[in-house]
Amino acid sequence: MPTIDVVDSAADIIKLDGRKILFAQNSENKISDLKINQKERYFFIFGPEGGLTREELNLFDEKYKLVDNRLRTETAIIKCASIITI
């Protein structure tokens, strides 16, 4: 079962041990193309309703687009869980 971690800043996420996947509206990568390795630990980052700052976006190497339109945060999490394949 997934767990939910709440952190104070995007910089705190970088310190966590595991692969960080950021959802960015303008990314060229589609989440449906992401292959999950069960031996790795993943952190899926969903930004606030207004989006992340450019500085926060630049902290992450892996960025994926979830859908073409913008989703509310709680809807984005459910959508992501429904399309990730192992």
Where do the domains of the chain lie? Answer: 10-83
Checking if the pLDDT of 9 tops 70, the result is yes
DSSP assignment letter at 69: S
Q: Tell the CATH topology of 10-83.
A: Alpha/beta knot (3.40.1280)
- Provide the pLDDT for residue 23: 87
Checking if the pLDDT of 18 tops 90, the result is yes
User: What is the per-residue pLDDT across 67-81, written as a single tens digit (0 to 9) for each?
Assistant: 777 778 777 877 887
Task: Give the three-state DSSP class for 19.
Answer: strand
**Cα 63 from Cα 65, distance rounded (Å):** 7
User: What is the per-residue pLDDT across 28-53, written as a single tens digit (0 to 9) for each?
Assistant: 898 888 888 889 998 888 877 777 88
- What percent of the chain shows pLDDT beyond 90? 8
